[in-house]
Amino acid sequence: MHNAFVEYLLESDRLTPAGASILEQRLKHALSPMGMIAMTHEMLTGHAVEEILIRQDETREPFGEAAVRLSYLTPNQVEQLLDIQRFRRHATVVEVLVLTGLMRIEEATDAFAEFLRREPHGQVLFDDTFAMER
């Protein structure tokens, strides 16, 4: 697993390797699909998402690429949605830390705020290598 926030927690001794293992297991099931995010923000309709998913199944291309090819989203919108997916992935770490008892909410949110401030704007959110498209 590669999640910059989890790595930050490990490097800053706020999380043990055993805790990171727990996070890894829980985060496997905590994706925010691009289509769901786009529908929530009224960028896509349910019908459009269905069409994109059909194309994706046929071509095996990522959701965002299929959406652009079908003219439902622009490349810029896809980038914005990917940015939101990455941010949500990091924020989900906070939820898992609290719900598993690895940290109190105050500790987890303080660590997240420090993590967000540690790099120039944007870089820290966007260094994940997860396949975020589905």
133 is written with which tokens? 């498209």
pLDDT tens digits, 1-30: 578 899 999 999 999 999 999 998 888 877
Total domains, the chain: 1
pLDDT of residue 129: 39
| Residue 124, domain member (yes or no) | no
Unique residue bearing structure tokens 């810029």: 76
Q: What confidence category does residue 102 fall into, taking pLDDT thresholds of 50, 70 and 90? A: very high
| Residue 133, domain member (yes or no) | no
| Residue 126, domain member (yes or no) | no
Unique residue bearing structure tokens 């069409």: 51
Q: Break the chain down into helix, strand, coil percent, rounded to 5.
A: 65, 0, 35
Would you say residue 108 has pLDDT above 50?
yes
pLDDT of residue 123: 54
| Residue 108, domain member (yes or no) | yes
**Three-state secondary-structure class, residue 26:** helix
Q: Which domain holds residue 70?
A: 4-117
| Residue 8, domain member (yes or no) | yes
